[in-house]
Amino acid sequence: MNEIVRHDVAANLEISISGHKNVIHKETEAKVDAIWDAALRVSDLTLFNGTLYSVTDISPQRITVQPTEYKRFFAQTHDRVLVDALGIRPLACTGVVRCADGLIFAKRSEAVTLNQGFWELAPSGVFDDTAKNPRGTLDTRTVFASELFEELGIPASTISTHEVLVALEDKEQNSIDLILSASVSIDASGVIKCFATRETDEYSEVSVIQDKDIRDFIAKNAADIVPISLDILDFLKLS
């Protein structure tokens, strides 16, 4: 079981971007490039070297991040020796999304690089430059709404409630997830219809599970559920 550390966060949480940049040694950068180039030669993987934000400090009122490249985190996950050299802790968000008929789960497709074929609470994704607002901070609603539409096809106009609950740090994966609780004003059939129009191939399947069936769903799929989703369900006392 992954070691998960809980970080309480305030309702007015601010995510600020640090101007400090880590110095990456040439030898480390060379290792990163070698791992990335090798992965690009595998045609069945969907890879794009964009910007993500790594957590440098976290408190209930503020999370401080600095920009880095996705390929560095990718290399870090494939060579644990690079963890000490890079120290990247991507800031991500996972939605606990309720529609009229229950919680939304989705199965990760074979096209993704991590946890292929696993179920998870959806949507889920890292903060990138699309989350930046005019004040120079990162906005949780913006990244959540973007992931909701891109990965599940559900438009932002359906979001009726939105709240940041907690931050969970996965020590094994070196990542920090902001857990967002939200409600959307559609039912299960609407979720399925929206899913058919999604923009990405992050997920291959979607399912809406009623609260009374969640424990049975976990028991049936426990070995194929992303660990952080199991921890979220435990935190919410739904497992």
Token pair 């497709």 is found at: 109
3-state secondary structure of 17: strand
What is the pLDDT at residue 48? 87
Cα-based angle 20, 23, 28 (whole degrees, multiple of 5): 145
pLDDT of 71 > 90? The answer is: yes
Distance, CA of 57 to CA of 193 (rounded, Å): 40
pLDDT of 44 > 70? The answer is: no
Task: Please compute the mean of the pLDDT values over residues 5-29 and round it to a whole number.
Answer: 92
Distance, CA of 75 to CA of 111 (rounded, Å): 18
Task: Please compute the mean of the pLDDT values over residues 72-94 and round it to a whole number.
Answer: 94
Which range marks the domain in which residue 65 is found?
Answer: 4-235
Distance, CA of 131 to CA of 129 (rounded, Å): 5
In this structure, what CATH number is given to the domain that contains residue 95?
A: 3.90.79.10
Gyration radius of the chain over CA positions: 18
The count of structural domains within the chain is 1
Handedness of CA 204, 224, 97, 56 (dihedral sign): negative
Task: Please compute the mean of the pLDDT values over residues 190-200 and round it to a whole number.
Answer: 97
Which has more confidence, 59 or 133? 59
Q: How is residue 114 annotated by DSSP?
A: S
